[in-house]
């Protein structure tokens, strides 16, 4: 393979050209739309390799996104808050730890790609999404664009063929578990496809309560998210989906969240003391009930704790002795289907701690924002609550899969939107929103 290798089809070039033009020419409020379309419909099989660096279509769009910010003079002095700073430190610490552990050019390339994706995605969204109305645009856009995606997954379910295989990066024939098809669409694994549906469903539930939103679009968006989750035939997304529903059921008790958190913690500790096996083996029992590899997920957590001395400082490059069966693509490592464990394995306890701190800071920001608003601003509160529920769904997903394709952009998008609610721009938008007829609509 040469230093500059093109693995993109004419169709991909056309798609990239259209998305790039839209990204640069659309009003700032709608510039997020081509990014969301790309996440939802383009596989990672379309790539341009320059000097050994892989540029997927989304990575190229990040470049065009920042070009747009410069030429349209939309760069502004972001007042970095605790979430922004911790996110940056997490990227730096994770990358540094990996380089110290394995100081090779391959590691440098890998960590540069990670940093590019993380920082580029997060801060591009931070520049584009500045207020409450912008967040609603994200919700509405997702409600529309995942409807055709759900249709393609229905087709895949009935034909056992993935339409997105023509773009490369995903198999033509649908994966099976037993006699059940596990649809994946443009994602690298069915679990990640199902995770998309589960994590964005809370947006549509909140959107239903907005006076300016189309109830029809919102309803079909929610149906599409449900179809995508079900079509993946994966236990992890199913549990995540259920956790999102439970998250909204807690809404009436939002003023008692401290009590709920303590009850949850007490319950977990009590189960740990009562159960014959450690509490994380609940995942194994759920796997037996619902199907799936819950035993593997429980064992991963157990082995990570048992081998703590091996990875706590900078991480580790060898986990093959944790479980009898290894990753199908890496003989030196097991298949680590847990994002929290993966953070520790890749960057040690400090990287894992920063990852957890980001989540804590996000929940704290949402809690403070909800409490700061008057009771008559329900439409605003419910969208803020949806951001928190979506984060909860991601956390549940983290216990069943480690993110490794475009689903990470959905996660960074969520973190960036939550970070935005710390800004005065959201407060200003909230002040004018009792008269929601002024808000943007579709």
- Tell me the per-residue pLDDT of 41-93, one tens digit each, with 9 for 90 and over: 999 888 888 777 889 999 999 999 999 999 999 887 788 999 999 999 999 99
207 pLDDT tier (thresholds 50, 70, 90): very high
Read off the pTM: 0.91
Counting other chains too, the contacts that 179-185 makes at CB distance below 8 Å and 24 or more residues apart are 180/233, 181/156, 181/157, 181/233, 182/232, 182/233, 182/234, 183/153, 183/156, 183/157, 183/231, 183/232, 183/233, 184/156, 184/232, 185/149, 185/152, 185/153, 185/156, 185/228
The string of DSSP codes covering 43-74 is: -TT-EEEETTEEEEHHHHHHHHHHHHHHHTT-
349 pLDDT tier (thresholds 50, 70, 90): very high
Within 10 angstroms of residue 66's Cβ, the number of other Cβ atoms is: 16
What is the spatial distance between Cα 91 and Cα 55, in angstroms, rounded to a whole number? 19
Residue pair 334/326 in contact by the 8 Å Cβ criterion = yes
Name which of 7-11, 40-44, 220-224, 240-244 the model is least confident about. Answer: 7-11
Mean pLDDT score across all residues of the chain:
89
Task: State the average pLDDT over residues 362-375.
Answer: 88
Element (H, E) at 243: helix 235-249
Q: pLDDT value at position 258?
A: 87
Within 10 angstroms of residue 187's Cβ, the number of other Cβ atoms is: 27
Report domain extents, the chain.
1-75, 87-270+313-438
SS3 of the chain: helix, strand, coil, percent, to 5: 70, 5, 25
- Cβ burial of 16 (10 Å; 0-12, 13-18, 19+) is buried
């Amino acid at each position: 393979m040469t230093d500059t290798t093109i693995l993109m089809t004419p169709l991909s070039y056309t798609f990239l050209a259209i998305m790039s033009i839209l990204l640069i020419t659309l009003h700032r409020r709608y510039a997020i739309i081509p990014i969301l379309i790309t996440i939802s419909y383009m596989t990672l099989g379309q790539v341009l390799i320059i000097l050994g660096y892989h540029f997927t279509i989304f990575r190229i769009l990040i470049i065009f996104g920042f070009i747009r910010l410069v030429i349209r003079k939309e760069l502004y002095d972001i007042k970095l808050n605790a979430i922004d700073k911790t996110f940056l430190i997490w990227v730096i610490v994770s990358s540094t730890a990996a380089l110290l552990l394995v100081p090779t050019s391959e590691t440098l390339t890998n960590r540069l790609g990670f940093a590019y994706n993380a920082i580029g995605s997060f801060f591009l969204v931070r520049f584009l999404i500045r207020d409450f109305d912008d967040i609603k645009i994200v919700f509405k856009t997702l409600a529309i664009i995942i409807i055709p995606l759900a249709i393609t997954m229905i087709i895949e379910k009935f034909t056992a063929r993935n339409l997105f295989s023509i773009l490369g990066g995903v198999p033509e024939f649908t994966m099976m578990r037993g006699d059940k098809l596990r649809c994946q669409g443009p994602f690298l694994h069915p679990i990640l496809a199902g995770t998309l549906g589960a994590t964005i469903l809370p947006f549509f539930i909140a959107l239903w309560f907005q006076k300016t939103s189309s109830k029809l679009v919102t309803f079909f968006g929610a149906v599409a998210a449900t179809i995508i989750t079900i079509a993946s035939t994966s236990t992890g997304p199913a549990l995540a989906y259920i956790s999102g529903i439970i998250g909204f059921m807690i809404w009436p008790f939002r003023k008692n969240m401290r009590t709920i958190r303590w009850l949850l913690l007490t319950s977990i500790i009590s189960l740990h003391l009562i159960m014959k096996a450690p509490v994380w083996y609940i995942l194994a029992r759920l796997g037996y009930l619902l199907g799936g590899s819950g035993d593997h997920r429980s064992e991963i957590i157990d082995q990570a704790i048992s081998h703590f001395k091996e990875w706590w400082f900078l991480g580790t490059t060898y986990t093959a002795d944790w479980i009898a069966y290894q990753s199908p693509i890496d003989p030196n490592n097991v298949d680590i289907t847990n994002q929290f464990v993966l953070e520790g394995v890749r960057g040690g306890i400090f990287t894992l701690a920063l990852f957890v701190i980001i989540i804590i800071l996000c929940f704290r920001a949402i809690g403070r924002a909800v409490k700061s608003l008057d009771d008559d601003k329900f439409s605003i509160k419910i969208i803020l609550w949806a951001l928190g529920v979506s984060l909860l769904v991601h956390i549940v997903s983290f216990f069943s899969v480690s993110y490794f394709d475009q689903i990470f952009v959905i996660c960074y998008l969520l973190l960036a939107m939550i970070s935005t609610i710390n800004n005065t721009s959201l407060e200003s938008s909230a002040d004018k929103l009792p008269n929601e007829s002024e808000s943007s609509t579709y």
